[in-house]
A = this chain, B = another copy of it.
Amino acid sequence: MLVFVLHGPNLNLLGTREPDVYGTLTLDEINARLHDLARELGVEIECFQSNEEGELINILHAAARRAAGVVFNPGAFTHYSLALRDAVAAIGIPTVEVHLSNIHAREPFRRRSVIAAAAAGQISGLGIESYLLGLRAVVALARKRAGDGS
């Protein structure tokens, strides 16, 4: 079972950008921790980061062909990218939206996700745990789904 992990805009700067908001872990460290957990759960993951909305859409489309689910941190696209919402709705595999920070405790414009309604669920505010729990959730959903289909 393959799971895509998708990091949105500016997340390549993690660890250096506003560390009081986003923590000091780098994206590589997060990916490493995710690989560890993937091994523990018996699944494979592929990690992507892009600052381009269109490229993120393309990766989601690729996920539909190759993966069983997606862990997706859309970054600031969370709040306005209806094109990403439509992509998540279109691909038909479980997608869990994750956020490092508690978006509900920040500026008003960050409290609304236009993507969440198309995702299976949303996890926010738990730092790297948001990603790790997101991976657990996707695997659980994908396995249940695979089981349903058997």
The docked-state distance in angstroms from the alpha carbon of A77 to that of B76 is 13
Distance of A93 from chain B, by nearest CB (Å):
13
Distance of A40 from chain B, by nearest CB (Å):
13
Number of copies: 12
Distance of A21 from chain B, by nearest CB (Å):
9
Assess whether A83 is in contact with B75, with CB atoms less than 8 Å apart: yes
Assess whether B83 is in contact with A82, with CB atoms less than 8 Å apart: no
The docked-state distance in angstroms from the alpha carbon of A54 to that of B16 is 19
A:3-31 near B, CB below 8 Å = 8-10, 12-13, 16-18
A16 nearest in chain B by CB position: B90
User: What residues on B are CB-neighbors of A129 within 8 Å?
Assistant: 121, 136-137, 140-141
Listed in ascending order, the chain A residues whose CB lies under 8 Å from chain B are: 8-10, 12-13, 16-18, 50-55, 57-58, 61, 75-77, 79-83, 85-87, 89-90, 96, 102, 104-105, 109, 111-114, 116-126, 129-130, 133, 136-137, 140-141
